[in-house]
Structure 1
Amino acid sequence: MRRVLIALIAVVLGLAACTGEGEIADFGPGVPDDEQPELPADGGLDVNEVAAPGEAPPADAQLEQVDWSEAAAWIRRENEAGRPVVINFFASFCEPCKRELPLLLDTAAAETDVAFLGVHTMEQRELGVQMVDEYDIAFPTFHDPSGDVVFEVGGRGLPHTVAFDTDGRLVSRVFGELTATNLDQLLSEVR
C-alpha cells in the first residue's frame, strides 16, 4: 500500500508541475487542504522512531541517493550536534523552487546554527546535478528519485520545506514558495 501511495504522489507531482508565484502543485486538482488524504507525517513525525540504516549519508553529501531511513539518520546526526534541520524539497521542473533558492541559500549561509539540506526529488539525478551547479547550492543535498523522503514527511507538492527540532521532531512546514516571512517563522519555530 505504501509503495502505491508513493507512486501516486510521484505521478501527481510530476504531472502537476509548479506554476505561479506562491502556488504549489497540490495532491489533487481542486482538493482543499482540509480534504487532502492523510499521510503518515500528519499525525506527527519523529526521526528517532525510524529504524537506522547501516550508516548515515555523509554530512556533506552531494546528490547521494537516499531513502527515508538514511535521511532520518542524517537528521539524527545533526541533532546530536545540537542543530535543528531545515529540509527543502526541489525539482528542476518547479519554477517556484528555483525562485526561492537565492533566499534559501542566503539564509543557510547566515544561519550556521541550523543544518540545511536539499532533497532533489522524483527526477533523474542528472537534472539535480544541473540545478545544484547552476544555483551553486552549497548545503548538502540528497537525491530521492522515488519520492520516499518527501512522502514520509507529508509532502503534497513542490516546493515544500520542513523543519525538525533538535529532538528530531517535525515541528514546522511550508507548503509553497518560501518568502522571507514564512522562512523566518519556520526558523523561529524550529529553535
Structure 2
Amino acid sequence: MIAKKKKREIFRFALLLLLFVAVGFALYKHYSDDNKQTLIGEPAPNFKLKNINDKTVELQQSKGKVTLVNFWGSWCEPCKREMPLLQSMYSKYHNRGFEILSVNSQESNLAVKNYAQKYHLSFPVLLDLENQAGRAYNVYKLPASFLIDSNGKVVEGFEGELNKKQLEGWILEGLK
C-alpha cells in the first residue's frame, strides 16, 4: 500500500514538472525573437511619448526619414555600450535623413535626463513610463532596435547590442 502511494506521488510530481516545463517553453516562444520578425514588412506601430523636456513626440513625425527606434534602460550594460555608437551614427547621418528615437523603458525623467547628459545624446530621448511602445513592438529584452523606412514600414529588427557594421549597413541600405 505504501509503495503504491509513493509511486502515485512520484507520478503526480513528474506530471506537474512536465506541465511547468511546457508552460515555460510556451512563454519563452511567445516572447522570443520570433515576435520581432512578425513586425518586419508591417507598418511601424505608432506611439506618442514625452521626451526628457516634456515635449510630446510621435513616431509619425519621422515619416519621410529612415528612423531607428531603440529601446533601452540605464541599468542595461549592453545599452550603455551601444549608446556611443548610436550617437556617432546619428551625428554622421542625421543630415542625410536618418533619425533616432531612443525609448527608455519605465524609468524616471531625472534618471533618463542624467543618462542622456552623461552620454551627450543629441537625438530625441523618450520616456515610455507605462511600456506602451515596448508592448507595441514586443520588446521584452533590452536593448532592442527597429529600423523603419521612410514610408513607415519596419524593415529590420534586432534584440541585443548593435555593432557598427550592422547598424551602418542598415542605415546606408535605408538611405538608398
User: Which sits farther off after the overlay, 34-43 or 155-164?
Assistant: 34-43
Does the CA contact (< 8 Å) of 2:49 and 2:128 recur in 1?
A: no
CA contact (8 A) 1:42 1:154 kept: no
- Return the offset for 1:139: 0.5
Q: 1:171 deviation in Å?
A: 1.2
One of 164, 170, 174 as aligned partner of 1:180: 164
1:3-48 deviations in Å (ceiling 9; x for gaps):
xxxxxxxxxxxxxxxxxxxxxxxxxxx969x82347598255414x
Q: CA RMSD in A?
A: 3.1
Cα distance in structure 2, aligned partners of 1:118 and 1:172: 16
* Cα distance in 2 for residues equivalent to 1:101 and 1:152: 23
Query: Per-residue deviation at 1:111?
Result: 0.6
Separation (CA, whole Å) in 2 of partners of 1:134 and 1:64: 19
Write out per-residue CA displacement over residues 140-182 of structure 1, whole angstroms, 9 at most, x where no aligned residue.
1110011111111121310111111111111111210111122
Aligned partner of 1:92 among 62, 74, 85: 74
Q: CA deviation at 1:99?
A: 0.6
Q: Residue 46 of structure 1 is aligned with which of 34, 43, 48?
A: 43
- In structure 1, runs of 5+ residues without a counterpart are 1-29
1:35 paired to 2:29: yes
Which residue number corresponds to residue 59 of structure 2? 75
TM-score, with structure 2 as normaliser: 0.70
Q: How many residues align?
A: 147
Partner Cα distance (1:64, 1:172) in 2: 29
**Residues 57 and 156 (structure 1), Cα distance of their counterparts in 2 relative to 1, 3 Å cut:** closer
Per-residue deviation, 1:64: 3.7
Mark the runs of 5 or more structure 2 residues left unpaired by the alignment.
1-23
Give the TM-score, by structure 1 length.
0.65
Contact (CA 8 Å) 1:64, 1:143: kept in 2 or not? Answer: no
- The aligned amino acid for 1:46 is P
Asked which structure has the greater CA Rg, the reply is: 2
Q: Which residue of 1 aligns with 2:91?
A: 109
Partner SS for 1:155: coil
Describe the SS at the equivalent of 1:161.
Answer: strand
Query: How much identity, in percent, do the aligned residues show?
Result: 22
Runs of 4+ in 1 over 6 A off after TM superposition: none
